[in-house]
Amino acid sequence: MTRPLDGITVVSLEHAVAAPFCTRQLADLGARVIKIERPGSGDFARGYDQRVNGQSSHFTWLNRNKESLALDVKQPQALSALLQLLETADVLVQNLAPGAAARMGLSYETLKAHNPKLIVCDISGYGADGPYRDKKAYDLLIQSEAGFLSVTGTPETPSKSGISVADIAAGMYAYTNILSALLLRGKTGQGSHIDVSMLEAMAEWMNYPLYYAYEGAAPPPRTGASHASIYPYGPFAAGDGNTVMLGLQNEREWTAFCALVLRAPELAVDPRFDRNALRNENREALKAEILRIFSHLTAAQVVQRLDEAGIANAQVNDMAQLWAHPQLQARNRWHTVATPVGDVPALLPPGVNSAFDYRMDAVPAVGQHNRAILTALGWTPAQIQSLQPQNSEQAA
């Protein structure tokens, strides 16, 4: 079976989330991804936690299908091995500290002299220039800088996302930019330089609240799990103590909601609630009416009425319920991948393609592929051994 990126080699100086998420997706499509890691400890995300049979949850998620090459790139011999790899690679991805790659001679301008077809993707917090270029950038800090915290949480307390949303956004834009650069190279024969900023990725995702606050208008308020400008849209408690998430989009649905779910058709024409702007303005009064009626129903009964009325709804699932989600099971979305601590379940990438199956190979140990990669480059066993830190069996 041919995959879209079969034959493409990606070298990545990566850690944490943004770059590993980008390169894992390239690997899922068939690319060979050679992950450069610190000898011994490797990507520091390996140590974030030990929730997956002693292995990090982040690392398990982000690093299947990759080869691990442990190199101390501050050492001349190790750096020469990396440069040798890059002479024939298709893509270099890096999310090191600002300026670190360039100081090692790994800037696009330097590398393209030896490999004009190379695509170099730099991922950073703020981009390659501008007054914030050298600032450290972690996911929470970018969520804050991008205004995400200002519209997320409750009126009293801003809240960060429960996932690394800024890293994920940057990783996704790096991934799509690299795919675009590969298509462009197919037309021009030349590589290119990609500069992905976490702030710019998040700012793109913030365009709705940006335009909502256009020309100094009030921004969307923080409304917890409810929608900031549509009501009713969010979580509502039922009489059995469970919560139902529901959402209305238009006046037709509002009329059906009143008649078939609340069984109070008079509310549909109540002058406090007869269009969305008024429902949003008077949401506390409407919430009280909804909760009064729901208090006599179980969550299952509420969902049944919502389904009969054609009103969108969802369960408020926890992680155990997501693991066992019947829709994921029915669509066979779970696969198994090998890791250094044994096989673990893994979700297939989103998007079912009739022409190919995604690659779902192992998560590597630190330096697991040193000997194979360096031997293929023409290194002798003695040269390979010289790269190993003393007492480091993992890098062998």
pLDDT in tens, 77-117: 999 999 999 999 999 999 998 889 999 999 999 999 999 99
Residue the block writes with tokens 């989103």: 350
Question: Which of 15, 58, 114, 227 is labelled catalytic?
Answer: 227
User: What is the structure's pLDDT at 393?
Assistant: 41
Residue 227 a catalytic site member:
yes
Pick the CATH number of 233-316 from 3.30.1540.10, 3.40.250.10, 1.10.287.1040, 3.40.50.300: 3.30.1540.10
Does domain 9-206+331-386 match CATH 3.40.50.720? Answer: no
Residue spans per domain, the chain: 9-206+331-386, 233-316
Under the banding of pLDDT at 50, 70 and 90, the label for residue 386 is confident
Share of the chain above pLDDT 90, in %: 95
pLDDT in tens, 7-39: 999 999 999 999 999 999 999 999 999 999 999
Q: In whole angstroms, what is the distance from residue 323 CA to residue 239 CA?
A: 27
Under the banding of pLDDT at 50, 70 and 90, the label for residue 235 is very high
**For the whole model, what pTM was predicted?**
0.92
User: What is the structure's pLDDT at 389?
Assistant: 62
Under the banding of pLDDT at 50, 70 and 90, the label for residue 378 is very high
Start-end of H helices in the chain:
18-28, 57-62, 76-86, 100-103, 108-112, 139-145, 165-188, 198-205, 207-212, 251-256, 276-281, 283-294, 299-309, 319-323, 326-330, 370-376, 381-386
